[in-house]
Amino acid sequence: MKYLALIYAAPGAGPDYGTPEFGPYMDGYRKATETYKRDGVMLAGEALQETSTATTVRVRNGKTETMDGPFAETKEQLGGFYMFDCANLDEAIKYAAMIPTAEHGSVEVRPIMDIE
């Protein structure tokens, strides 16, 4: 089964660039990604620019409306994602728990819908 792991955190909750904690934090991401590739479960994984760069798009009555900012203003923001191919939810949870941001933010694991 395919799963999307959505990585959420409040801005400033994790280690800042330039602090001693930042290096090991990024190293954690590098190691996690290596593990996913080694185990053959990694389908994709990217980090996103901050929500201040987001544009929200809606089409109403055939007209495209854009709005500056994310879809929802929440304290925890979507910062990146991985897509895994796993046998079951237990495996997906195990890999999601390796994401370093899970230690201060949250990772939402969602199965990908199988369109028949």
Partner 1 sequence: MASECSRHDSSARKALEALARADTGRLLGALLRDVRDFQLAEDCLQDAMESAMAHWSRNGLPGAPAGWVLQTARRKAIDRFRRTRNFERKAEEYGRLIELDQQAVDSDEPPAIPDERLRLIFTCCHPALDRKTCVALTLRTLCGLTTREIARAFVDTPETMGQRLVRARHKITKAGIPFEIPEPEDWTERLNSVLSVIYLIFNEGYSATEGTELLRQDLCLEAIRLGRLMLELVSGNAECEGLLALMLLNHARAAARLDEDGRMVPLDQQNRGLWHREKIEEGSRILDRALERGHPGLFQSQAAISALHAQAASHAETDWQQIVLLYESMHRLADNPVYLLNRAVALSYARSADQALDALAMISSALDGYQPFHAAKADLQRRTGRHEAARQSYRRAIELSGNDSERQFLASRIAALDQAAEIAPAASPAPQSC
Residue 89 makes contact with partner 1 by CB under 8 A: yes
Q: Which helix (H) or strand (E) holds 52?
A: none
The structure tokens listed for 99 are 């994401």
Between 54 and 102, whose beta carbon lies closer to partner 1? 102
Residue closest to 34 by CA, chosen among 1, 2, 82: 82
38/36 Cα distance (integer angstroms) = 6
The structure tokens listed for 73 are 């203003």
Residue 107 makes contact with partner 1 by CB under 8 A: no
Residue 5 makes contact with partner 1 by CB under 8 A: no
Residue 88 makes contact with partner 1 by CB under 8 A: yes
Between 52 and 88, whose beta carbon lies closer to partner 1? 88
Q: Within 28-87, which residues bind partner 1 (CB under 8 A)?
A: 86-87
Straight-line distance from the first to the last Cα atom of the chain, in angstroms, rounded to the nearest whole number: 14
**Site size for partner 1, by CB under 8 A?**
12
Positions touching partner 1 (CB under 8 A) are: 1, 3, 86-90, 92-93, 111, 113, 116
